[in-house]
Each structure stands twice: as structure tokens, then as C-alpha cells.
Amino acid sequence: MNDVIVVGGGFAGVTAAREAALRGRSVVLLEARDRLGGRTWTAPWNGSTIEYGGAWVHWHQPHTWSEITRAGLEVSVSDEAGVAGWYVGSDRRSGSIEERDDIARRGWDRFVDGVRVALPEPHDPTRAIDALARFDRLSIADRVSELSLSDEERDVLTAELESLAHAPLGDAGAVSVLRWHALSGYSLELTQFTGGRVTLVAGTQALLGAIAGGAAFERRLGSAVAAIRQRGDRVDVETRDGSGFTGRSVIVAVPLNALGAIEFTPALPDDKLAAIALGQASRGIKIFIRARGASLLQNSIRPGHPFGYLGTESLDGDGSQLMIGFGIDAERCDAGDLAAVQDQLDAILPGYEVIDATAHDWLADEFSRGTWAIHRPGWYEHHHAAMQRPEGAVVFAGSDIANGWSGFIDGAIESGLRGASLAAALA
């Protein structure tokens, strides 16, 4: 019998396994995929190393930055784009990033008005829940509809919000924007910086490997969990291939949208079942495009586009560049259909020729069923505390239920730390 069984090998699960092992507990980690990392995934493609999921870090993210420092890893800060594009209806406009940000800021500042009262301590999101509840009941679309904006301000703001939400704005909760803004020092500039400028030189897998190497624990890849059953002072975990594991406590570090595939005995209480049924809203695409054209750092946004945020990742000496795009619905963008990708590229950044493209469909991936955590309306008022509560000797963890940087590596590490502390005490 193990002291602790960890289900899920993303940053939360790996952190939890390390911390439980450091507390002297025997630990086995079960991961459904053939790799660790979960929704972060560094892999080679077309001569480049890309992050199919995850990527960005920042010194405002305390748990991540501590681990980066401990591991002695280097970060890189990307350059700002030289040319910015944006759309008002079908009219394409261009200028500097500063000019576009001035437009975005006018809408953004109205959107987040009241956030300092609603989220006075952003690492404790329910501290002022009575003030937060008004926003928590709104979708992003609901909140935008409350604002008095020009057509240009509305379209630029909408494009910015779609790239953040990675989901239709009618599904995504307004608090997802407010939290990111509050955690970024109540600043649009820092919100943009924390979400897209600082990366690990060696990739997210280097950080994951450093955490995983911090203590000895058993790892079982390709071990998708089918059932978790509590029986007296033990917990039995059964995998889909029929293998069984027994522990004194279990940490379930699985994305919210994938939790429904696991059978729990006794059944989870109604409040947890309601949270799992609601799920989180992200369903977007993260697409990488190798394109040929003007050797300029580009950044273009367009609301409603299949990848309505598109920016240059790197310029290559052969006249090509690597671009990254984000869209609100993975079903609207097929990276394998280069003709369709070309048409979509022409509709947001004309003048470039698609050479190749790639993406991982996180929405179709049964072990994620979505990308980073974007909670639906009502999450913090009704579901956040329920999902953090242990059920007997079963503890829940993961970036989706973090207090702070939910949806980021930092939130996963934070939640893994908390989960390990609870599970070790139960073991």
C-alpha cells in the first residue's frame, strides 16, 4: 500500500507527488498519457521547439518564479511587435502596438471598473464574495454589453477578450478577466505581459522535469484512472486496463472537464457534481503557422475570427516566420487543412503565404476537454469552495481550482502544494 496516490501528471500532480514524497510519504503517480505535463507540452515541430500547451511565465507568479529560481532556469522576454493590426467590422486598420493599446485600454478600463473592491486580495478570490458576486453572475459578453463603447473600442476589446477567454464570450465568466487583471497588479499592460511575453528558454518541460526530480516517487504512464473507491481507512484506485493501486489518501489532479470520466465511490456530493457538470468554458485553438512574407514582427487581432489573435513568435533567415494564433473554438480551425488556414490567415493578416501549420486539439483530448481554466458565470459564488474541499481521504487539486493564477502553471503548482499538504496529513 502506498501512502499517497496522485492521479494526473500535470504540474499540479507532479508538484503534489514531490511534496508528499518530501514529507516522507511513499507516492505513486498515475498519468493517463505517455508523458508528464498535462496541458503543458513542449515538442519539436518543423525545425522549432513549440509549446502546444502552456508556455508563459512571469515574476508576478510567485510559485512558478520560486521553482524557476530553484531550478536555475533562464527566461526570455519577447520583443514587442513592430506592426499592429486590428479590425472594425470588415475595415482593417494598422499602426503601432501603443496606438492599438490606447484603444483597448479605453474599453478594458471600463470592463474592470470595480475590480479593486470585488477582488481586493486576488490570491483569495472569495474574500469579498458579496462584492464579487455581481460580476460572477455575468458572462464576458454580458459585461461588455453594459459598457458604452465606440465601434472601434468594442471590436478591439472583444478581440482582446476572446484571446484571453479561449471560448465564446457568452460562455466565459467575466471574473476570468477580472482575476487575471487583479493578479497582474490591476494593469492592462501587465495583464498582457504576464500572458504572453516571458517564456522559459529550455521550455516548460525543463521546469516540470526539475520539479519531478526534486524527490523520489513512482511514476506510471499510460495509466488512465477509471475508478476511485474509498473503503474504510484505504482508497482503491482502478485503471482502465484493470490494474489496481491502494493508498491511504489520493490526490486527484485532473482537469475539471475530464473529472466526469472517473467513477467515485461513495459518489461525490451534489455540490461537486454540479461543479463538474458545469465545467469550465475554454474550448479554443492554439495554432502555430509557418508563413512566408515581410520579415516584420506582426501582431493582428480580429473579433470572431477562427484565430483572432495572431502574433509573430520568431523570424527566420529564410524569409519565413513562426506565428502563433489563438481562437475561441477548436472546431472552427483545422491546422491540417492548409488551404483553409491560408484563407483564415488572409482574413486577419493578408500578404503572407502559409508553409505549414500545427495544433493539438485540446478540446477533443479526453484527458483535458479544454485549454486553460476559464470559469463560467457562477463559479466563485457556488462552486469554487466545493471543489477545493476534500472528500474523506480524496483531495482535489489542479490549476482549474487554484486560488491565484488559475489556468496558469503557477495555479497548478499552488494547488499541488496545497493538495500535498492535505493528503500527507491524511496518510
pLDDT at position 132, please? Answer: 98
pLDDT score at 35: 98
Mean predicted confidence (pLDDT) in 139-168: 98
352-383 pLDDT, tens per residue?
999 999 999 999 999 999 999 999 999 999 99
Looking at residue 248, what is its pLDDT? 98
Provide the percentage of residues in the chain whose pLDDT is more than 70: 100
Query: What length is written for the chain?
Result: 427
Only one residue has cell 478581440, namely 159
pLDDT digits (tens, 9 = 90+) for 17-38: 999 999 999 999 999 999 999 9
- Please answer whether residues 39 and 54 qualify as being in contact, where contact means their C-beta atoms are separated by less than 8 angstroms: yes
Q: Which three cell numbers stand for residue 289?
A: 503557422
What is the structure's pLDDT at 53?
Answer: 95
Answer whether residue 47 shows pLDDT above 90.
Answer: no
Closest CA to 425 of 388, 395, 386, 403: 395
Name the band, by pLDDT with cuts 50, 70 and 90, for residue 275: very high
Neighbours of 201 (CB within 10 A): 9
How large a percentage of the chain has pLDDT more than 90?
Answer: 97
**Whose CA is closest to 372, among 19, 52, 18?**
52
| Res 353: pLDDT | 98
CA separation for the pair 413, 271 (Å, rounded): 25
CA–CA dist 112, 146 (Å, integer):
12
Q: With 0-12 CB in 10 A as exposed, 13-18 as middle and 19+ as buried, what is 339? A: exposed
Would you say the pTM of this structure is higher than 0.85?
yes
pLDDT band at 319 (very low <50, low <70, confident <90, very high): confident
**What are 190-246's pLDDT values in tens digits?**
999 999 999 999 999 999 999 999 999 999 999 999 999 999 999 999 999 999 999
The widest CA-to-CA distance across the chain, in whole angstroms, is 66
Segment 322-337, tens digit of pLDDT? 999 999 999 999 999 9
Report the C-alpha dihedral over residues 251, 256, 260, 263, rounded to 10 degrees: 10
Amino acid found at 397: A
Encode pLDDT of 74-110 as tens digits.
Answer: 999 999 899 999 999 999 999 999 999 999 999 999 9
Q: How far apart are CA 27 and CA 20, in angstroms?
A: 7
Taking 90 as the threshold, does the pLDDT of residue 318 lie above it?
no
Mean pLDDT rounded to a whole number for the chain: 97
